[in-house]
Structure 1
Amino acid sequence: MTGAPTTLTNASRARIIFAMMACYFLFAVLLNSVGTVILQSINTFDVSKTQAAGLEGFKDLSIAIMSFLVASMIPRFGYKLALLGALAAVTLVCLITPQLGQFYAFKLLFAVVGCAFAVVKISVYALVGQLSDSPSSHSALLNTIEGMFMVGVLSGYWIFSFFITDEPAALNWLNVYYILALLSLVCCLSIVLAPIKKQALPPGSSIVSEFTAMLKLSYQPLVLVFIISAFLYVLIEQGVGTWLPTFNNKILHLPVDVSVQLTSIFAASLAVGRLLAGQILKVCHWYTLLNVCLLAMGALILLTLPLTKNVSAQDITSVFKAPLAAYLMPMIGLFMAPIYPVLNSVILSSLAKHQQASMTGMIVIFSALGGTTGSILTGYIFEHFSGQHAFYCALVPLCLLIVSVYLFKQRSTPAQAVAA
């Protein structure tokens, strides 16, 4: 673990942490607005569900491609310059989107936001290492920043719902992007004021050698099983999370603003689930917890979806009047929550320290690919069959995930012993 710089005062360290948290809050709102934007695109621009689902691809594929291309280059430019460049691009695209007011503008928006987030996540993870002098302080700081991401996710649903009206064709909701452009400028200011130093590079290192090391890592059986597990998990999470607003609106016949607000339960469930898992893992083995969570997810899907059949349209004006199924489905996030962080923690602790940076790049890449696949598949099934069929199909990757987690456990146990 890289020690904290001796020249950093507490105030300087706090400014860096605030800047990282502000960036994560902004990107949480933007990235997780894709479900809301999909629903609004269907209603406002009259695009099909399959076309709207493609927005997830512009977001996640740009994250994957950007991470793959620039992960080894960012330290050479410096984290401050990288963060400012990413935020400048986001500010510009947020100002352009409401001016264009067309569906293609959101393809551009999510492509730019995805590229920017790849730069931000790589930079933030590296800065956390610089600010930490022990594994426990690293874990505490990273959990705090990831916690702020969940606060941003939760806030984003309510921020967008505030701008949504009852008129399907109205474009007033696009004004939310002026607010997000302003927030991006605040993030830029916080980065400028933060005393972020350029990292010293090890002698003899090169972009080519670091890039090659990341590619070689993927050939290890342990890493391959992890990649499959992470891909399947994110496929489920993004498939459900992205399409919940549309599910609430089209299947449960809830108003658009209520549909979006109820989706915030999903984000809140993820946040609560991760906090609880941190305590449960102190007394319970990670493999046991993950199996309980996976089985509970399957049970909740089988319990909830029958309640969504033949739901009649009602005059519902607030979240408090929604049917029971609208509350139960987002609660799946409570059981999803521990799976991804636990898988990441196990794989990183199973590898030597010099391999962990490359592994972080792999995590970002295959998580993005899984998110794209999940959203597009769910959207296709939603379009050509029904919302119930789309969510029932989540049981297939769920069963595969149970198998892959078992294989991951078998290979990670001896690897952790060697790494220790």
Structure 2
Amino acid sequence: MATLRIRLSLLLTYFVFAILLNSVGTVILQVIHTYQITKEAASVLEGFKDIPIAVVSFIIASYLPRLGYKTALQIALTLVTLACIMMPLIPAFWTTKLLFLTVGASFALVKVSVYASIGVVTNTKAEHASLLNFIEGGFMLGVLSGYWLFSAFMDPAAPESGSWLQVYWLLALLCLANLALLSSTPFPKLELPPAQPLKQDFIAMLQLVYKPLVFVFVLSAFLYVLIEQGIGSWLPTFNNEVLKLPNQLSVQLTSIFAASLALGRILAGVVLKKLSWYVLLNSCLLAMALLILLTLPLTRDIQHNAGVGLFTAPLAAYLFPLIGLFMAPIYPVINSVILSALPKARHAAMTGLIVVFSALGGTTGSMVTGYTFANFDGQTAFYLCLLPLSLLLLSVGLFHRQSKQVVA
């Protein structure tokens, strides 16, 4: 029963943060209209989210097992609750930056704690991979819910209005409810090696990168998140400006991307029982490239249609987000492979590296896509995804080769 409560609290914490983290694409679209700022200026929101994730993970990941995963999660939820309350009370672009900075720093605590806790409550590699995919699937359901939640507070008749800010009252309540559940859930204590100075814990985390398997892994994670965030953060704006859809509909149709990611991760849990993870990932990467090449030509020369609706949008609005279906298995699979190869006491340090390089990849992807979007066009921005996609295909091959060797 205690283990079930832990799993539920981890899942719900991840669910809440999924809504907040992946709202950046929606918020970019809204702040451009509400606060009248440029695309380049709005693109920094991804950095305000991801850079704190990287910095905080880098500094404290190795210390979290001693602080306690439950305590770390409680701190994160408390900070984010306060940041959510500020959004409607002080509507300004700087408040939005502060929100994402807080969400990013807090998510560093959350992701390291959640990933490391999975190792505590599971006993086999298969059980670890199953629970990780389940929680990542719950994360994607949170992303999917977020698009519809935000769109419900938008005013289609006045895109520049700040009505969407009222959603943060509801998000603050969700954080408080989750904090109450977490606080009433007992967590087991992790058996740790003898205490050593924080500096040595930090150095031990950095030394993980010298392992060939870990080095190739962080490269793969960086490239994957670069692609996912580049597409996810700018898809609402792509729908709005390239496919000529209203703000609210642009956000609603972006939910297809999140739904595809969620479905893809659920299906991957079934497929991986019968198919090698390496074969699955290669197939997914090739399918992603094919979908980009076949779908983006359909987005050319689309004319504005005042009467467009949920079921009458251009075909590309439904097809392109399906890339998430093939993208979905990549991240949880490579994470599970690397974590299963390391002792449980090192999972927090390894997760710190995962978070750091994922955050750097996310910021890079969003800013490059935003720059290309502003200076060229949306099609060019998304065609550029083919470059990191090709590099990811190569790095996954190297990762597979290194994973056959025993990690000391």
When normalised by structure 2's length, the TM-score is: 0.95
Matching of residue 326 in structure 1 with residue 321 in structure 2:
no
Matches within 5 A, 1:10-159: 10=1, 12-159=2-149
1:217 aligned residue: 208
Looking at structure 1, the residues matched to 230 and 86 of structure 2 have their Cα atoms a distance apart, in angstroms, of: 28
Looking at structure 2, the residues matched to 407 and 200 of structure 1 have their Cα atoms a distance apart, in angstroms, of: 33
CA distance 1:125–1:339, change in 2 (3 Å): closer
CA distance 1:48–1:310, change in 2 (3 Å): same
Work out the number of aligned pairs and report it.
407
Matched AA of 2:61: A
Deviation (angstroms), 1:284:
2.3
1:263 aligned residue: 254
- Which of the residues 264, 272, 281 maps onto 1:273? 264
Unaligned runs of at least 5 residues, structure 1: 1-9
Q: Does the Cα contact within 8 Å between 1:247 and 1:387 map onto a contact in 2?
A: yes
Deviation (angstroms), 1:344:
1.8
Deviation (angstroms), 1:354:
4.9
Matches within 5 A, 1:390-409: 390-409=381-400
Matched AA of 1:111: L
CA distance 1:134–1:294, change in 2 (3 Å): closer
Looking at structure 1, the residues matched to 135 and 118 of structure 2 have their Cα atoms a distance apart, in angstroms, of: 9
Looking at structure 2, the residues matched to 322 and 404 of structure 1 have their Cα atoms a distance apart, in angstroms, of: 37
| Higher mean displacement: 392-401 or 14-23 | 14-23
Looking at structure 1, the residues matched to 196 and 398 of structure 2 have their Cα atoms a distance apart, in angstroms, of: 34
Looking at structure 2, the residues matched to 213 and 335 of structure 1 have their Cα atoms a distance apart, in angstroms, of: 35
Matching of residue 228 in structure 1 with residue 219 in structure 2:
yes
Q: Does the Cα contact within 8 Å between 1:301 and 1:392 map onto a contact in 2?
A: yes
When normalised by structure 1's length, the TM-score is: 0.92
Matched AA of 1:223: V
CA distance 1:355–1:130, change in 2 (3 Å): closer
Q: Does the Cα contact within 8 Å between 1:352 and 1:419 map onto a contact in 2?
A: no
Deviation (angstroms), 1:195:
1.8
Provide the secondary structure at the position in 1 that maps to 2:129.
helix
Deviation (angstroms), 1:419:
4.6
| Higher mean displacement: 346-355 or 168-177 | 346-355
What percent identity do the matched residue pairs reach? 58
Provide the secondary structure at the position in 2 that maps to 1:70.
helix
CA distance 1:18–1:280, change in 2 (3 Å): closer
1:310 aligned residue: 301
CA distance 1:117–1:349, change in 2 (3 Å): same
2:360 aligned residue: 369
| Higher mean displacement: 257-266 or 127-136 | 127-136
Provide the secondary structure at the position in 1 that maps to 2:234.
helix
| Higher mean displacement: 287-296 or 200-209 | 200-209
1:6 aligned residue: none
CA distance 1:355–1:19, change in 2 (3 Å): closer
Matched AA of 1:122: V
Provide the secondary structure at the position in 2 that maps to 1:72.
helix
1:384 aligned residue: 375
Deviation readout 1:287-325 (Å, 9 max, x if unpaired) = 222222111111111111111111000124531111100
2:288 aligned residue: 297
